[in-house]
Amino acid sequence: MTPRRSLPGRPRHIPATSAKAPRDQVLDAAAELFVTRGFAATSTREIAERVGIRQASLYYHFAGKDEILAELLQRSVRPTVDKIAKIEALVPPQTHATALYLLALIDIRTLTEAPHNVGILYGQSDVTNSEVYAEFHRARQELVDAYGRLGLKSASPDIAADTDARELGEMLMHSIEVVTEIRNGGKTVTPQRANRIAATALRMCDVPQETIATAASTAAGLLAEFHHVGSTW
């Protein structure tokens, strides 16, 4: 879905309480409501009221609730997908475990920084049945494919002989998406937790512990190459 062009809005219903741009305020409010109340149960009027703008002003930024959902879902996966090619190009082919570890760290960071833990919306029927979910699913599949490629190249012969790229990719993705459960439990995903999760993903591929340690050390040095504004780690 092509994002709606942001236009100047009408005067605010109440004074702004955030320094964020109005469009980002809408996304932030919608994310909180979708996560706490559910997508279907949230109206654009309620989103506008949470921001402190008139409902009509919301439509200067988004065509409707589905478009807001589409952008929120993309924000939980697209920042990682857009880095896949760079990860695979930056890490030498003989160190696939490092590339997999780095991909996991970046993906964990993306999920950690997604507004109001929108990753928990993935399994909700009102979201999966929405018109915009298919576009998100295609982006997520790109990430599954990357996990599958790097996972098979890193895996032991026994693991590689017993699974295919699609199956392994889904398994690795699910191991990373535990981040949403951690956040939902009120815990912070610290760099230390992120490294434990990334290491667990490599163990699923039967990567030796000494290789995991090397991958972790190398990936930590490379992570700065993927720094983005607003990142906390």
Class of domain 73-226: mainly alpha
Global pTM? 0.88
Based on C-alpha coordinates, what's the Rg of the chain? 19
- CA–CA distances in Å: residue 196 to residues 44, 78, 111, 128, 176: 39, 23, 15, 30, 10
Q: CB–CB of 61/9 below 8 Å?
A: yes
Compute the distance between CA of residue 83 and CA of residue 233 in angstroms, rounded to an integer: 17
Q: CB–CB of 177/119 below 8 Å?
A: yes
What number of residues does the chain have? Answer: 233
- Annotate 139-173 with b (16+ C-beta within 10 A) or e (fewer): bbbebbebbbbbbbbbbeeebbeebebeebbebbb
Give pLDDT tens digits for 111-149.
999 889 999 999 899 999 998 999 999 999 999 999 999
Q: What is the rounded average pLDDT for all residues in the chain?
A: 90
* Residue ranges per structural domain of the chain: 22-62, 73-226
Class of domain 22-62: mainly alpha
User: What is the predicted pLDDT for the residue at 63?
Assistant: 95
Give pLDDT tens digits for 27-78.
999 999 999 999 999 999 999 999 999 999 999 999 999 999 999 999 999 9
